[in-house]
Structure 1
């Protein structure tokens, strides 16, 4: 048995819109609710949420019940972190703070077995290969990696062409919050300078033949980003959506019970 086909990788290469959600609560029950809702993908946020390797493995098992693509965002693009997450079974990774093409190349190598890369040969005891039961896992594992790198600084925008043209990178994801902060507009990703940098980056990513991605919370702007050419669209997190639903519920209750 070989490594399973990565549907997200195929969809992004075919320029199919992929809509998904961030997972930040580290709750298997919340993740199960997300999984059954119909999103194309869900991202386990190992950078800003309380996910240790055991919980990442649990989240992958929960999402494995559903017809969506799980992604893991690692906290940092170090070889040992990437290797461990991939051995847990992640085929699609988002790596934050990628500023140069050289850095992107190092990350690509960390996700591939030799001779194409330097991923450690631990598949025989790893969940990724069903603890060795996928006897042909190594034959196509490299081909089924979907690597998304995150451009979220001025330096990354300056180097967007070399990042996007890196072989092995499937998608370049713009991080609007960090980019706006780095550009001197902290908390204002809608600032005209930030939006201009994002539009420029998306255009260069698309020119390189790669998918462009972004996370945005305002429904009113979704059409704007899709018109730019974004095909990997994050539309919120389960944490923010739960908070908003709770607040709306309370407002409605207060309104109806005023005397």
Structure 2
């Protein structure tokens, strides 16, 4: 069997905008339904959702029949956790809270087998299609995609250094933690936060990396898109479900 292609990574290289959706509900039927909604990518979140890295395996299996890429966010920049996520079949990983080039380099090392990195080698995992992908250990890096998340004032100062790290394929701006870092907790769309995010998006582009972003504020998303945002998440599953339920309740009151 040939190495599965990473459509998301290819799109980033080609400069095509990719619109995504955030998944925090640990349910394969929900992910399967969302996979059939026409988004380019789904983010399976193990940082701020009640699921672990290995819980993403059935979720990726549920999405597999559909033309959508799955990205997995580990809870931390942890080599062991990233190893398990990759073995479960993730090809794109979004590592949170990367503060500088050194931490970006550590994430790169976790994503790749020796001699480039420190990823542990296993045989019959879903990543290698249970041992059927010829020369998987030698070729895995071809389709591996690392996104790092910049989400503090200190990290914004390091954008150019992080972008220069070989093996980083994109930089994602997390507005919620950034807002808290700036002194505006819970105010992700504060004017000063918006200004900082848009400036960061432009700097990421200028540094030669595709920028990413998530917000439920569509005017903010459009502003980021106009600034050059390339992979943008425009919804979160549990937020959408609650909003729809509340809206329907209000219609019938």
Q: TM-score, normalised by structure 2?
A: 0.97
Deviation by residue 1:54-79 (Cα, 9 ceiling, x = unmatched): 42111010011110000100001111
Within-5 A mapping of 1:225-236: 225-236=224-235
Counterpart for residue 40 of structure 2: 40
Counterpart for residue 69 of structure 1: 69
Give how far 1:237 is off.
Answer: 0.8
CA contact (8 A) 1:149 1:173 kept: yes
Does 2:12 align with 1:12?
yes
Within-5 A mapping of 1:1-259: 1-122=1-122, 124-254=123-253
Which one has the largest radius of gyration?
1
Deviation by residue 1:8-65 (Cα, 9 ceiling, x = unmatched): 0110111111001111111111111101111000011010111134421110100111
Give how far 1:216 is off.
Answer: 0.8
Structure 1, unpaired ranges of 5+: 255-259
The 4+ residue runs of structure 1 with deviation greater than 4 A are none
Counterpart for residue 257 of structure 1: none
CA contact (8 A) 2:54 2:84 kept: no
Equivalent-residue separation in structure 2 for 1:134 and 1:3 (angstroms): 6
CA contact (8 A) 2:194 2:220 kept: no
Moved more, 141-150 or 49-58: 49-58
- The size of the alignment, in residue pairs, is 253
Structure 2, unpaired ranges of 5+: none
CA contact (8 A) 2:95 2:148 kept: yes
Matched position secondary structure for 1:161: helix
Q: Cα RMSD between the aligned structures? A: 1.1
CA contact (8 A) 1:3 1:138 kept: no
Moved more, 198-207 or 174-183: 198-207
